């Protein structure tokens, strides 16, 4: 059996290579080619569609049927988990809170208010 010759693509002539014509400029870049701009357009579009949807069903119905159930499903378990420790911390800090309250009450006297007022008036006079 004689060996087979592989079929080669015919070579283009040198004349064909130079006859391309004037060089075509690359595609111009537009403002919408940026990923950030396209993302912003998508976000604005989604917000617009959401606004249209809310206006069609009404804001009260949207709040009652969508926002409140989602809030209840998300926040009720968190509140149930945090409430015991929050109550415990509140009781543990009672002495500290009472002490701070008594300090604040002791400095809230007429003499101290007059002293603060006189110092403020002194500084206001100095700044004039």
- Percent of the chain's residues with pLDDT above 70: 77
In-domain check, residue 124:
yes
Backbone phi, then psi, for 32, in 5-degree steps? -85, 5
In-domain check, residue 109:
yes
Q: On the CB side of 93, how many CA atoms lie within 13 Å of its CA?
A: 9
Q: What is the mean pLDDT of the chain?
A: 82
pLDDT at 50: 93
pLDDT at 91: 93
Quickly count: other Cβ atoms within 10 Å of residue 54's Cβ. Answer: 14
In-domain check, residue 59:
no
In-domain check, residue 75:
no
When pLDDT is cut at 50, 70 and 90, the band that residue 15 belongs to is low
Total tally of structural domains belonging to the chain:
1
In-domain check, residue 99:
yes
When pLDDT is cut at 50, 70 and 90, the band that residue 72 belongs to is confident
Burial class for 62, CB neighbours closer than 10 Å (0-12, 13-18, 19+): middle
In-domain check, residue 108:
yes
In-domain check, residue 100:
yes
In-domain check, residue 122:
yes
DSSP string, 51-105: HHHHHHH-HHHHIIIIIHHHHHHHHHHHHHHHHHHHHHHHHHTHHHHHHHHHHHH
pLDDT at 3: 64
Q: Which range, of 20-29, 54-63, 79-88, averages the lowest pLDDT?
A: 20-29
Per the structure, the complete domain to which residue 101 belongs is given by 94-128
């Amino acid at each position: 059996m004689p060996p087979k010759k592989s079929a080669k693509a015919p070579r283009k002539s040198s004349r064909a290579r130079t006859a391309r014509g004037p060089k075509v400029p690359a595609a111009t870049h537009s403002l919408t080619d940026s990923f950030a701009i396209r993302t912003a357009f998508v976000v604005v579009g989604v917000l617009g569609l959401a606004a249209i949807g809310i206006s069609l069903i009404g804001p009260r119905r949207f709040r009652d049927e969508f926002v409140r159930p989602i809030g209840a499903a998300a926040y009720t378990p968190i509140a149930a988990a945090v409430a015991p420790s929050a109550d415990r911390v509140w009781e543990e800090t009672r002495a500290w809170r009472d002490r701070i309250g008594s300090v604040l009450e002791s400095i809230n006297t007429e003499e101290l208010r007059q002293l603060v007022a006189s110092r403020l008036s002194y500084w206001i006079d100095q700044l004039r």
